């Protein structure tokens, strides 16, 4: 039987892509999906109606190309973020992955390198490889946190041209303190390194957790990446964005495809931002379920990692795959992220979380120390 890898071997594929697997979590038809950190609450009815009205209005002009500069969207995103930002500080694309791809196309490439600190978002090395950028792996502490001195030292030693700091980090949920970001930014001065703080889950952070947005002024090599997929419940709309010095957007215009944001995408995002308070109303409920998961998993003798995201990584599992399969057999899909003894679960609705916790309690056999 011919496999995809058999077919690929017959093609003149680039050497650095041979043997790679495409990104993607299992897509299974089960009642409770808690594996890819989606917002399980969905889009409220009144916001759906507003989006439908905005899309319907945009359809009348689909014979024309969309606004290449997505000006209204950049205004709305700047207003949402605050911090004195305006449209010149904003860039957007089809999901934050395309935003990161634009950054790598502009500042990475052959002869350049990007530094990440695994375990972290698995798309970083894939995006680096696709753009011909060497990917260098740094180290975290055993508790999955980053130390300012250690991170700065690694930036200097590698001479990386780009540095990925994911905060809250996926898949661990750990947030990065601003002193780490400041230290990494300073350490990258000699290489003129672009520092990317990926804040895809920022809206779920505990109160008082700082955002890198507060550090942007005076730091022209600092980029803060965000998304509307998570807190805004718009994973299917594919809208990611960043905030940075205006020169960053100027650079990304050199590598973006023409008219890369469709009129329908822009209309959807603008309508959603107009109703941001309504869309974000479920964030506190999601955070409550996340904290519930941390507490109840801990009471089972397992080891949850403190999380500032909408998911929880937990360890202490003697056989993670058996637990994963046992949950799947009960109609609950969570994520094996490849960290020995660990699994990751998205915070669902209250009923979804209850079903997950009840079944997990039946399945777990904590590791004996």
> How far is residue 143's CA from residue 119's CA, in Å, rounded to a whole number?
11
Task: Assess if CATH 3.40.50.1100 describes domain 4-43+281-363.
Answer: no
With a CB cutoff of 8 Å and minimum separation 6, the contacts of 366 are 300, 301, 302, 316, 317, 318
Average pLDDT over residues 94-105: 98
Domain locations along the chain: 4-43+281-363, 45-278
User: What pTM does this model have?
Assistant: 0.94
* Bigger pLDDT: 364 vs 50: 50
What is the domain class of 45-278 according to CATH? alpha beta
* Whole-number pLDDT of residue 368: 47
DSSP secondary structure, 204-248, as one string: GSPTT---GGGG-TT-TTEEEEEESSSTTS-GGG--EEEEE-HHH
Q: How confident is the model at residue 17 (pLDDT cuts 50, 70, 90)?
A: confident
Per residue in 195-243, pLDDT (tens digit) is 999 999 999 999 999 999 999 999 999 999 999 999 999 999 999 999 9
* Whole-number pLDDT of residue 119: 97
Per residue in 129-139, pLDDT (tens digit) is 999 999 999 99
CATH topology agreement for domains 4-43+281-363 and 45-278: no
Per residue in 58-93, pLDDT (tens digit) is 999 999 999 999 999 999 999 999 999 999 999 999
Say what angle helices 71-81 and 263-274 make with each other, to 10 degrees: 30
| 20 neighbors 126 (Cβ within 8 angstroms) | yes
* DSSP β-bridge partners for residue 242: 91, 225
Which pair of structure tokens corresponds to residue 282?
């479920």
């Amino acid at each position: 039987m011919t496999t995809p890898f058999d077919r690929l071997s017959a093609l003149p594929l680039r050497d650095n892509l041979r043997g790679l697997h495409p990104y993607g979590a299992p897509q299974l038809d089960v009642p409770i999906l808690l594996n890819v950190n989606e917002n399980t609450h969905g889009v409220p009815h009144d916001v759906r109606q507003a989006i439908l009205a905005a899309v319907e209005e945009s359809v009348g002009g689909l014979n024309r190309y969309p606004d290449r500069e997505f000006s209204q969207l950049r205004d709305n995103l700047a207003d949402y973020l605050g911090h004195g930002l305006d449209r010149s500080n904003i860039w957007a694309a089809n999901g934050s992955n395309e935003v990161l791809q634009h950054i790598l196309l502009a500042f990475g490439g052959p002869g350049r390198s990007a530094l990440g600190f695994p375990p972290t978002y698995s798309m970083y090395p894939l995006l680096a490889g696709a753009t011909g950028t060497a990917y260098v792996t740094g180290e975290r502490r055993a508790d999955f946190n980053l130390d300012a001195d250690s991170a700065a030292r690694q930036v200097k030693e590698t001479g990386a041209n780009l540095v990925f700091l994911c905060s809250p980090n996926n898949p661990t949920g750990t947030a990065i303190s601003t002193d780490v970001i400041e230290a990494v930014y300073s350490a990258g001065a000699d290489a003129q390194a672009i520092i990317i703080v990926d804040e895809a889950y920022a809206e779920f952070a505990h109160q008082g957790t700082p955002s890198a947005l507060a550090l942007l002024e005076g730091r022209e090599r600092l980029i803060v990446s965000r998304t509307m997929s998570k807190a805004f419940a718009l994973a299917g709309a594919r809208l990611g964005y960043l905030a940075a010095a205006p020169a960053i957007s100027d650079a990304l215009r050199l590598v973006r495809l023409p008219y890369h944001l469709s009129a329908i995408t822009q209309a959807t995002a603008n309508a959603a931002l107009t109703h941001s308070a309504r869309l974000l109303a479920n964030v506190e409920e999601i955070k409550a379920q996340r904290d519930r998961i941390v507490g109840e998993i801990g009471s089972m003798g397992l080891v949850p990692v403190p999380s500032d995201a909408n998911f929880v990584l937990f360890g202490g599992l003697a056989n993670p795959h058996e637990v994963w399969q046992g949950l799947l057999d009960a109609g609950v899909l969570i994520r094996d992220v490849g960290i020995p003894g660990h699994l990751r679960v998205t915070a669902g609705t209250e009923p979804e979380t209850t079903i997950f916790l009840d079944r997990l309690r039946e399945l777990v056999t904590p590791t004996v120390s």
